A and B are shown apart, each in its own frame.
Chain A
Amino acid sequence: QKEVEQDPGPLSVPEGAIVSLNCTYSNSAFQYFMWYRQYSRKGPELLMYTYSSGNKEDGRFTAQVDKSSKYISLFIRDSQPSDSATYLCATVKAAGNKLTFGGGTRVLVKP
């Protein structure tokens, strides 16, 4: 079993819809959480990071962390075709260095 599980998709939504992405993790040592967006043949772009349970909002993006359930989510409001990409969740242990990634979810936003 992978330490961080993420549905590979593809997740197809119409333009303007809310994109809902999630990951589950198994190790309670993971304390810090990130979401990245990766376009084909590009490096990942950091969208959100959070160090605690709860919600964090930034523009069209909302990240949720529930440490009791070991469940993290990313919501993208008013999705655009330019949001079509692979979304990666990542987590780090306290005092750790290495990111542990989910496998990524491919998202397609159709005009």
Chain B
Amino acid sequence: GAVVSQHPSWVICKSGTSVKIECRSLDFQATTMFWYRQFPKQSLMLMATSNEGSKATYEQGVEKDKFLINHASLTLSTLTVTSAHPEDSSFYICSARRSTGHYEQYFGPGTRLTVT
């Protein structure tokens, strides 16, 4: 149990275009989902936290107009990177947390974004 999927696993896009990444909790309802970014050999950096039906809370320094997060249901959150640039190339990972009272997060397999 507690499986989180991400799609796509790898995407290449041209500079200036937008790309959407989906994160789904497959066998549980996730009241809270998180989006992280990870550069090679570095730790995970939290970008934003989203609760179903609410606006996402972004970490300091993360541009909310560039990284659009939608958490439309208890099993789906999406991250859209708008007007992508080569510096946005990174490994994006989502995670999901069960209902209130649970603190552990279950991570997806990650999405590798390359902007050319």
Contact = CB atoms under 8 A, between A and B. Distances in A.
B110 A42 contact: yes
Contacts, number: 48
A29 to B, nearest CB: 13
Interface string B1-41: 01010100000000000000000000000001010000000
Interface in A29-59: 32, 34, 36, 41-46, 49, 51
Contacts of A32: 103-104
B12 to A, nearest CB: 15
Interface of A: 32, 34, 36, 41-46, 49, 51, 88, 90, 92, 96-99, 101, 103-104
Given A97-B49, A101-B43, A104-B43, A46 B107 contact: yes
B91 interface: yes
A36 B108 CA distance: 13
A70 B2 CA distance: 28
Interface residues on chain B, size class: 20 to 34
Q: Across the A-B interface, give the 8 residue pairs with the lowest CB-CB distance, nearest first.
A: A43-B107, A49-B104, A32-B103, A43-B110, A92-B103, A43-B93, A44-B107, A43-B109
A96 B109 CA distance: 24
Nearest to A49: B104
26 contacts: A34-B103, A34-B104, A34-B105, A41-B110, A42-B110, A43-B6, A43-B95, A43-B107, A43-B108, A43-B110, A44-B44, A44-B93, A44-B107, A46-B104, A46-B105, A46-B106, A46-B107, A88-B43, A90-B105, A92-B103, A97-B97, A98-B46, A98-B49, A101-B43, A103-B43, A104-B43
